Amino acid sequence: MAPEFGEREPVDWSWLQAGWGVAGFPSDYVEFMSRYGSGGIEDSLYIVPPSVPGDPDEGGMVYVTENANGLVGSEPFSVLAWGVTIAGDILCWKVGHSDPDQWTVSVWKRNDLTSPWLDFDCGLSGFLVGMFLCEYATCPLSDETVWGCSAPKFLSDAYIRRCEEEGVLPWTGEPDPYAGRSIDGYS
C-alpha cells in the first residue's frame, strides 16, 4: 500500500500506554502510524486515531473500543479497537498477552448474526495483507471493498481534511459540488 497520501501521525506512545494501562502497542501499529497515520483504505476500512479514556478529544480508539467491549460484554476491556468499516464492522486486538506484538486481531462482523466475532492469528499488518491477498477462506468483513484489492489506496485524515477545505472530493480528486454549501445550518 503506497504511503503517497499517508501522513505521519504524531503519537505520544507513553501517554497512550499509560492511558490504556498496557505495556506498549504492537510494533506494526507504531510503524503504521509513523508512515500513514489514521485514515481510510479505499474509503471502506478506517484506521482510527489513537486516543485514551478521559481525554477531552477521546473519539477514535476510545469510542470504538467502548462499542466493541459492549458487544463482548466484558469489563475491563478485553479488546482494543484499531479500525472500523463502512459496514459497521469493528477491528480490534485481543489484549490478553503482556507483549503487544503477540496481540491478535479479532473482528466483529456486523452482518454475521450466528458468530459475529472472528479471530485471526496475526497483527494489524498481517490482517491487512491477508485481506488484500484474499488469504482467508472468505472475506472476514461485511464489506468486500478491500478484499482482493491489488493496489489499495490510503488517504490520511489530514489529507482528507485538506481536500475538503479546498472543495475537492478526496477519493476522486474531483470538485465537490456541495463544497461551501450549508444544509439546514450544517456545513
Strands 154-156 and 90-94: what pairing?
Answer: unpaired
Element (H, E) at 56: none
22-64 per-position pLDDT tens digit = 999 999 999 999 999 999 999 999 999 998 887 766 678 988 8
Q: What is the pLDDT of residue 185?
A: 60
Characterize 1-27 residue by residue with b for buried, 16 or more Cβ atoms within 10 angstroms of its Cβ, and e for exposed.
Answer: beeebbbebebeeeebeebbebebbbe
What mean pLDDT comes out for the span 165-170? Answer: 94
What mean pLDDT comes out for the span 132-146? Answer: 96
What mean pLDDT comes out for the span 5-30? Answer: 92
E-strand ranges in 109-169 read: 117-120, 154-156
In the chain, the N- to C-terminal Cα span, in Å, equals 32
Residue extents of the structural domains in the chain = 13-156
CA Rg value for the chain: 17
SS3 state of residue 105: strand
70-99 per-position pLDDT tens digit = 776 655 568 999 999 999 999 999 998 999
pLDDT above 70 coverage of the chain, percent? 93
What mean pLDDT comes out for the span 131-155? Answer: 96
